[in-house]
């Protein structure tokens, strides 16, 4: 009975994630990326500004649906652009609580700001059996695990 218990304990210890008590955690950095659009005040009509704003909204649709959007407007043209942009964002499906519209004295009639957060993991080389002692232990596994949690569709399709 004791030998069976010892064999079971040995099996559990043999399956641990650490080798000789050595484990190097993977450093993950969270960085803020700011996307910004400014309607240029130089001799453009309201319709030209509106077309430029709508193009920005269409090009960044996926991001705008997920992140907080702040619209800063200045002047009469800016107010009209902000109202049109707000309606456009609601039309594409951005929840109303994610849109903030604020007036601000500025040189541009409309400014759109979107802050997103991205996680950066180190790029690690896969291990070669003969070189198991070199490099950061578990780096490749942890980076791949994080990538599969953040972008599962990329891991399934085989595209990185």
- For residue 23, pLDDT over 80 is answered with no
Give 137's contacts (C-beta < 8 A, 6+ positions apart): 19, 22, 23, 24
Higher pLDDT among residues 89 and 19, named by residue: 89
pLDDT of residue 117: 85
Asked if the model's pLDDT at residue 138 lies above 60, the reply is no
pLDDT band at 159 (very low <50, low <70, confident <90, very high): very low
Taking the domain 30-117, which CATH number applies? 3.30.1330.60
Which one-letter DSSP state was computed for residue 39? -
pLDDT exceeds 80 at position 107: yes
CATH 3.30.1330.60 region(s) of the chain? 30-117
Q: What is the pTM of this model?
A: 0.62
Count of residues for the chain? 160
Checking if the pLDDT of 39 tops 80, the result is yes
Q: Say whether pLDDT at 37 is over 70.
A: yes
């Amino acid at each position: 009975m004791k030998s069976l218990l010892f064999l079971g304990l040995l099996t559990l210890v043999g399956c641990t994630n650490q080798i000789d008590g050595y484990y190097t955690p993977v450093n993950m950095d969270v960085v803020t990326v700011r996307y910004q659009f400014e309607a240029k005040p130089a001799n453009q009509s309201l319709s030209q500004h509106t077309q430029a704003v709508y193009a920005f909204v269409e090009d960044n649709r996926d991001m705008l649906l997920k992140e907080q959007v702040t619209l800063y407007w200045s002047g009469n043209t800016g107010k009209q652009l902000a109202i049109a942009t707000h309606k456009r964002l609601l039309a594409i499906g951005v929840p109303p609580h994610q849109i903030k519209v604020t007036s601000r004295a500025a040189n541009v009639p409309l400014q759109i700001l979107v802050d997103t957060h991205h996680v950066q993991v180190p790029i690690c080389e896969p291990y070669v059996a003969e070189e198991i002692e070199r490099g950061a232990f578990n780096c490749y596994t942890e980076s791949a695990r994080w990538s599969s949690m953040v972008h599962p569709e990329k891991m399934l399709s085989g595209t990185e």
